[in-house]
Each structure stands twice: as structure tokens, then as C-alpha cells.
Structure 1
Amino acid sequence: MTETIRPPSTSSNRYLRDNFAPVREELTATDLPVIGRLPDHLDGRYLRIGPNPLDDPGDQHHWFLGEGMVHGVRLRDGRAEWYRNRWVRSAAVADALGEPHRGTPGERDFAANTNVLEHHGRTLALIEAGSPPYELTHELDTVGPCDFDGTLPSSFGQPGYAAHPHRDPHTGELHALSYSWTRGNRVTYSVLGNDGRIRRSVDVEVHGSPMMHDFALTENHVVILDLPVTFDIATATADVPRVVRPAVRGVLNRVIGRNPLPEPVIARIARGGGAASLPYRWNPDYPARIGIMARDDDSASVRWFEIPPCYVFHTLNAYDDGDSVVVDVVRHSRMFATVLNGPDEGPAVLTRFTLDLRTGRAHETGIDQRSQEFPRHDERFTGQRHRYGWAIGFDDGVPGDTVLRHDLETGSTQSRRLGAGLEASEFCFVPNPDGTQEGDGVVMGYVHDRAEGRSQLRLLDAATLEDVAAVQLPGRVPAGFHGNWAPEGTDLADV
């Protein structure tokens, strides 16, 4: 089946136009055309997710709030066996499509749209800020909400899970940092074991109620980003009736950044809202800092390091270096200060923070000043000293056609332009099965061809950024968020 190519949207919202515009068909295609040669050892699925509004959300729509749609390609024996795209069937999506609910949706129910990965034989669609993950079948149909065999509380007042877990390459366990405005000034560090159950959970007190999209992991520490994008009461209550709005805001002022209210009270407040915009804003009065907590200790071990105001969506990697912790991130100077429907507040650059555990001071070093996002590394080196990283170049706040390869040892960056009229998405690294050297493998991700109105799965040699293969897809994969390689017969696919 091939998607009907529709004319571009005329919405004034850039996140509803061009390749941000949602697709309306769910497709299944088999025996996909391939340009070049797919490596014979690739046996698995490339999965990626992103927002894809089911209905017209209006020009005030925030990009992060669209219902999630997963796009997947199955590779085996040098062939591209299938492509599928499917909405995540939350209760609201199932209702809109006239279908029965999948599983048992709870109070915090949303069609996860931020990350998709494989763990303990489960394909999981993830989102942050309190909503639970959704489990999918191998063919990307929705099974239902996942509570990790009853070990993940996901009602109001609970942390839910995270969009950005990181896998320990030695143990295979997933480490995560979860947040929700309903919990006041507490975030939760958790470890998801290889049995699919959360085996460790630690509450950490932060300064207020920040948005924490990502964190970092070293062999000995958890790296916590407490930065000045925080829950905004005025935005969250914009749709509350004017007559009760002062009372609701007064209640929220007593919970945000302090101790949480009782769960039933929070639930009533949250259900009475319904703001169309993301309720997080740049907060110039909020201190920017990075916390370091020993992985096997409690929250009393956290040490905080002040840094200049900035925001970080994504870390590249982190590692312990004697008496310091080194954290590489993509640094935004601010976020959601003037542009309120998506992340477009100027260039984001690759930056290193070195946190000196002896002096308690942080040192900031610029690595690459090109605007970029979606940094990835060789996940076999998560938490260890890394040499290489890959990212996507951005032009005027949107993904461009450039793939970047950073050599952090030499301080050099290689840039590959994919071609005029092409738009790249996040590329993830997939190692060669017999390779042991860092960066020995391919990077892969979806690339949109604006002229054709369709996309392809593009594979590049990770060392040279030269073409390896391209899988031609039957339709368009809109600009989205995170993708991962899910190999068959193993749980070693990382995030």
C-alpha cells in the first residue's frame, strides 16, 4: 500500500507544515526496494517514533503533544522485508478510531510519542512526565499500557517512566530518571532489571519542578540535569474556567516545587485543565545546575554543580575521569522563552561539562559550534570514556541534510551532506557483530525527500559517513523523535 501524497498544510504553525505535518494512513508494505547493499548480518527492526496528531489540533498546537506513531522497517538476510507505521492506541486514539481499548488504560494515559526500544522481549513506546509506556507487538500493533509487571506506579502523584532510559552495557539493565509536576520537587531514579521489573527506585529532591528530558550515566554515577525549564502554572490553567482559575492557581502554587498534594486533589486539578500548549516555560529565576549521585547510594549522596543558564534535551554520553565526571551534551542557550510551540530558540551546540568532585566546580568547554541535535554514541561505551559521537545538523530550527561525526579525541568533526531537498532525522549507531573497536559499524535513520514526498531508511558507514544502502519506503515518515535498532534474539538494543 502506498500513501496518498497530499499537498502541504497551510497552517501558520511550522510544526503542522512540511515534514512536520502528520500522515493520515497506516501502511504495510513488503519486499521494499533497496539501493546499495544491506549488510547481511543486520537481523532486526529499525524503529522510530514521533508525534502524529490524529485530528487537526489547531494552530496553537505544540509539537510535543501529538499522539505517537511508530514507524518500523524489518531487515534480514540483506533484504528489507517490511515497513509498517501504526498509531499507539491509547484509550483516546482507540476511541477516535472506533476500536476497543488495548489493555487497561489508567488515569495518566497518553499515546506515547517520544522513544521506542526493545527490552526483555518487549517493544516499548515511551514518553515522559508521568504517563506509562505502551507495549507493542513485533509488528507494531498496540498491546496496552505497561507497568513492568506491577512494579511501575503510574497514577497521579507517581513518577511514571521516562523517555530516555540508558542501558548499562555490562548488565543490560535500563537506568532511567522520571519526573512529573504532580510530585512537587521530587524526581525518581530507577533501574529496570533484565526480568522486566523495576528492581531499584530512589527519589531525589530537586530545586522545583523542571522538565527533565534526559540524563546521563557513568560507571559509578547518575548525572541529573536540573535546568530552568519548569512547570508553568499560568499555561497549565489557561483552559480552566475564569471564575475558578485563581483558586486553582493558588492550589498549584502550593504544590509546584514543594511537597506534593494528596493524590486525589492532584487528579482533580489535572483533569480540570486541558491546556493545548506544553505547560513548561523558560524560568530565568531558576538556578541551572548538574547533580552527581552515586549509582548505588541514596539521594543524600547528590552533589550539585552550578552552571550558566541553559537547557539540555539530550546528552551524548558521560564518564568518570579520576576525581571528575565528564558530561557531553547538546546545549541550548534557553528554551520555550519566546517560541512556545516547539524547540526553536536559536542554535544548539555540542558542549562538555567537566565536574570537579574535589572543588565542587563545573567547567564548560565548547566542542562544536554548528547547530545540531539528536546526539548518539556507540552504546557499547555508555558510561565509559568515548571517542566518537554522531548528530544531525539543524538549519533555522529544523533538521537539515547534514550528518555529523565528532572525534572527541582529535577535536575534529566530519560533515556529510546527504543532498539538496533531503531532511535527516536522528541516526543511531549499530555495531558490526565481529567488531570490537568503538565506532565500527553503521549509522541509520530516516531521511525525507521533499521533492518526492516520501522517505527512505538510510544507512551510512559510521567511520566515513559514506553510503551503504537506502531502503525506499512507500510513504513519508514525518519529522519525529527517537529511533533504535532492535536486533532479533537479543536485548542489547540500546537507547
Structure 2
Amino acid sequence: MSVIAHSAPTVTRRHTRHPVPDEVTETELVVTGQLPAELDGCLVRIGPDPIRPSPREHSLVGDGAVHGVRLGHGTALWYRNRWIRTDRVARDRGELPLPGPRHGLSDNANANVIQHAGRTLALGEAGVLPIELDAELESVARLDFDATLPHGFTAHAEADPVTGELFAVAYYHELPYVEHLVVGVDGRVRRSTRIEVAGTPLMHSVALTDRHTVLFDLPVAFDPHLAGAGSRFPYAWTDGRPARLGLLPRSASDADVRWFEVDPCYVFHPVNAYEAGDHCVIDVIRHERVFDRDRQAPGESAPTLWRWTADLIGGSVSAEQIDDIPQEFPRMDERRKTMPYRFAYTVAMQGGDSGVLGGSALLRHDLDRRDVAVHDFGPACVAGEAVFVPSGPFGAEDDGWLLTYVYDARDDRSRLVVLDAADFTGPPVAVVHLPVRVPSGFHTTWIAN
């Protein structure tokens, strides 16, 4: 195993996760620097923001809320934050429930936001149906893709950059299998494949190559004892449960999944996957363990960047740790998904009140040179997931900008920070100063106009 060692950036524990109590709309935003005119869209952050906080609440189940800044014509047009209108939120606010179908025990779409088939969708774990958002981040309706979705959906679907199709694995504790789903560019499920698994594993994500969907069947699964005790997210580490990667040909059936054993671990987020000759390369953020000693939060081990290489002829997997800084929330140039790529961007993690949700620095991994650059915002700051936005459709892999929300404890406010990807360690190109704090959350998404 090859390891590149670095000193972890200095960070300071900050209270970034306590709820933001009010919905805010602000159209008079101060901008430092110059926003690129090419940035025409909305940067959206989603995460848990409980309306009625509980000191014992699981870190993944707070009421979903979105925060967004709309950019265009070199200006910041507005900032908005809105709770996702789940049944629980609608009842609390005395509003009518959202229209649309229901599935499962929860509708808490608090984990991710994507854009597909002309719709902006908030997604959640464990069979939650997508909730459509409008251009001003208001909740519109629950969706089941025009009644083509067999059951629930997933928190982390992946889009093929060439075909535009959406790939996902949905899991739900009442089903003795998981469902591999392909959503066409028309927004309808065109293929659903049952994948037999033991119990109900927590499959947060998938990865894509140009020929396969990569499945992560790892030792975190539904725990009926936790469910019986009232846990709103009853998934836990299961000793003895196998850890394996599955390669499912895109047009094949359950019987065609090829499984590869790996050492026990957990993966929330792959970076990318691609095939090179007789090998499949899968880059991931690997946790040694989650939801074991601490059933309420996934921060008990330091997640780091690893590469698995599956030998498609011999059936073995080699594992290599690429970097040892604790990090999460990997992003890349989405145009290079399923293909060999050079740059990956992650958040250097801190412990304490931010858990595994933020840190003071962003990392840029140059996977060709095997080095890492650090952009540290300072000990009073906490950055979230960064999104790469290319300057145009045909630009180089680092020809564009990184956008992220950064909380600054010195004034208890957040900023939208724009970095030049080619000058990663240099000063920001622009900073949009927000009137409130954006809590540490989950995923950040650029919704192009």
C-alpha cells in the first residue's frame, strides 16, 4: 500500500450545526471581488435543520432544509433558505401537506439535491420519495417519476455524463432486496432490477463506469432492535456481515452481478470509477467503521481517500490508500464521470461539533502527480462540499471554478466563496456575504439556469 502523508490543516471546533430558526429571503447581497459572468445558476446546500430540536436526535434525520444563492450576469441576485415541506414540517407550520404519492415511514428528503429531466429534486435515505423544488427553492410535490417508480428512491443517484440517464440503488427495510433503477432523460424509470442481498444494507451511493454500475454492499444494515427502540434511522454496523463490491452490467439482471470481496469498511461517497483494460478503478472515501460505537453519528473513524482496483480476469481487488488526511464529500468535474480523470476535490474533516460534515480546508488531489494542495480558510471557518463548475462545455478539467459555502465564527455568518480551480491555493475570485449562517449540511449542488 502506498500512502502520501501530510499534516492535517489546523481547525477549530465551532457550533455550526445548531438550527437556523427562520426562513429568510435577501436580495441585497454584498459581493467582494468579481463574480464570473459565466456563473448562471443557483448554488444549493441541503441538510438537516430540525424545527423542534432534540438533544438525542440522530445526526442524519433532522428536518431537511435548503439554502441557495442565485448568481447571474456577474451579480448575486438573491439568497433564500427554505425547509423541505415534509408532512412533519407542514403540520408544524399549519400548512396543507404537499400533493403527490407517499411511500414508507418517512418523507424526509434532507440528503441531496439533483437536477434531472428539467426538475430540481430533493432526495432522502431509505426509500424516501423525491420532492420537487421550484426555481425559488419552494417545495412543489412528491414524485414517483410518473408512477414508474416501483417503491422508494435513494439519496445519491448518479447521472451518466454521456447519455444523461440517472442510475440509483434504492433500499427499503421491508424489501428483501435492493432495486437498481435507471431513470431516462424523460424523467421516467425505464429499468428496475432486483438485486438479492442479505438483510437491508445501507447503500447510500453507487458509482458508474461506462459499462457497469458499481454497488457497495458493506457491513451497515437495518437493525430491527434499533427500530423497535424508536430510532428514526435504525441502521448500524453489523459484525460478520461481508463487505463486497458488485459490478452490474448496465443492461443485465441480478444474476449477472459480479461480486468482489474487500476488507470491512463503509463508503458513503465514491469519487469516480472507470475501466482500464481488464481492470476497474474505483476511488472512494473509506470509513473504517460507522454507526458502531456511536449509533447516532458516523464520525467514529477518520475517513480517507482510497483506490480499489478490481481485476476483471482474476477476480481479486487491490486496495491503496491515496491520502491520510481525514476527508469527505468528494467532488470532481462531472463531465469526466465514468472516465479516467485527474482532479478530485474534498473537504478536510474536523471533529467536534461539525462531526464529519465540515472542516476549515478544501483539498485538491492531483491523481496524475499524486500530490495534494490545501486551501485553508482559517481556524474560525468551516467549509462544506465544493462543487466544480466548468467555464464552458469544452474546457479543461481545471478550467472553471469551485463554489462552496464557508461559515465564519467571527461574525456567525456564512459566505459563498468562488475559487479559481486552476489557482486553487490563491485568493478567492469572489465572495458573496450572506445575512445568516448556513449550517453544516450534506450535499451542495450547482443548479444551472
TM-score by length of structure 1 reads: 0.85
- Deviation string 1:294-344 (CA, Å, 9 cap, x unpaired) is 111112111111111101110000001111111000000011111121111
Higher relative contact order (CA 8 A, sep 6+): 2
CA distance in 2, matches of 1:452, 1:377: 31
1:122–1:135 contact (8 Å) kept in structure 2: yes
Whether 1:286 aligns to 2:282 is no
1:207–1:226 contact (8 Å) kept in structure 2: no
Query: Residue 260 of structure 2 is aligned with which of 287, 297, 305?
Result: 305
Task: Name 1:79's counterpart in structure 2.
Answer: 75
Query: Residue 338 of structure 1 is aligned with which of 285, 288, 293?
Result: 293
SS state of the match for residue 181, structure 2? Answer: strand
Aligned-pair CA distance for 1:128: 2.0
- Deviation string 1:17-51 (CA, Å, 9 cap, x unpaired) is 81111111000000311111110011111111001
2:161–2:337 contact (8 Å) kept in structure 1: yes
Q: Structure 1's 102 and 381: CA in aligned 2 closer, same or farther, altered over 3 A?
A: same
Query: Residue 435 of structure 2 is aligned with which of 470, 474, 479?
Result: 474
Task: Name 1:113's counterpart in structure 2.
Answer: 110
CA distance in 1, matches of 2:302, 2:92: 38
1:330–1:375 contact (8 Å) kept in structure 2: yes
CA distance in 2, matches of 1:84, 1:66: 19
Task: Name 2:41's counterpart in structure 1.
Answer: 44
Which deviates more from structure 2 when the two are superposed, residues 297-306 or residues 429-438? 429-438
Q: For structure 2, list consecutive stretches of 5 or more residues without a partner in the other structure.
A: 1-13
SS state of the match for residue 94, structure 1? Answer: helix
Runs (4+) off by over 6 Å = none
Mapping 1:137-156, distance limit 5 Å: 137-153=134-150
Query: Residue 209 of structure 1 is aligned with which of 175, 200, 217?
Result: 200
Task: Name 1:422's counterpart in structure 2.
Answer: 381
Whether 1:100 aligns to 2:61 is no
Task: Name 1:163's counterpart in structure 2.
Answer: 155
Aligned-pair CA distance for 1:136: 1.0
Aligned-pair CA distance for 1:105: 5.0
Aligned-pair CA distance for 1:187: 1.0
Query: Residue 335 of structure 2 is aligned with which of 377, 380, 386?
Result: 380
Q: Structure 1's 71 and 391: CA in aligned 2 closer, same or farther, altered over 3 A?
A: same
Task: Name 1:440's counterpart in structure 2.
Answer: 399
- Deviation string 1:150-186 (CA, Å, 9 cap, x unpaired) is 1113xxxx3x1111111111111111111111112x1
Which amino acid letter does the alignment assign opposite residue 196 of structure 1?
A: G
2:388–2:402 contact (8 Å) kept in structure 1: yes
CA distance in 1, matches of 2:314, 2:173: 32
CA distance in 2, matches of 1:207, 1:353: 23
Q: Structure 1's 170 and 80: CA in aligned 2 closer, same or farther, altered over 3 A?
A: same
Task: Name 2:190's counterpart in structure 1.
Answer: 199
Query: Residue 224 of structure 1 is aligned with which of 215, 224, 232?
Result: 215
SS state of the match for residue 60, structure 2? Answer: helix
Task: Name 2:278's counterpart in structure 1.
Answer: 323
Query: Residue 64 of structure 1 is aligned with which of 60, 63, 71?
Result: 60
TM-score by length of structure 2 reads: 0.93
Whether 1:132 aligns to 2:151 is no
Mapping 1:239-254, distance limit 5 Å: none
Task: Name 1:236's counterpart in structure 2.
Answer: 227
Which amino acid letter does the alignment assign opposite residue 176 of structure 1?
A: A
Seq. identity, %: 46
Q: For structure 1, list consecutive stretches of 5 or more residues without a partner in the other structure.
A: 1-16, 239-274, 489-495
- Deviation string 1:201-258 (CA, Å, 9 cap, x unpaired) is 11111233110111100000110000001111110101xxxxxxxxxxxxxxxxxxxx
How many residue pairs were aligned?
Answer: 429
Task: Name 2:420's counterpart in structure 1.
Answer: 461
Task: Name 1:491's counterpart in structure 2.
Answer: none
Which amino acid letter does the alignment assign opposite residue 167 of structure 1?
A: A
CA distance in 2, matches of 1:473, 1:226: 40
Task: Name 2:30's counterpart in structure 1.
Answer: 33
SS state of the match for residue 452, structure 1? Answer: coil
Task: Name 2:320's counterpart in structure 1.
Answer: 365
Which amino acid letter does the alignment assign opposite residue 233 of structure 1?
A: P
Aligned-pair CA distance for 1:463: 2.4
Query: Residue 404 of structure 1 is aligned with which of 363, 366, 372?
Result: 363
1:91–1:105 contact (8 Å) kept in structure 2: no
CA distance in 1, matches of 2:39, 2:378: 25
2:43–2:70 contact (8 Å) kept in structure 1: yes
SS state of the match for residue 20, structure 1? Answer: coil
CA distance in 2, matches of 1:208, 1:326: 28
2:285–2:327 contact (8 Å) kept in structure 1: yes
- Deviation string 1:345-400 (CA, Å, 9 cap, x unpaired) is 12111000000011110100010110000001110011111111000001224421
**Relative to total residues, which structure has the larger helix share, 1 or 2?**
1
CA distance in 2, matches of 1:203, 1:282: 24
- RMSD of aligned residue pairs (Cα, Å): 1.3
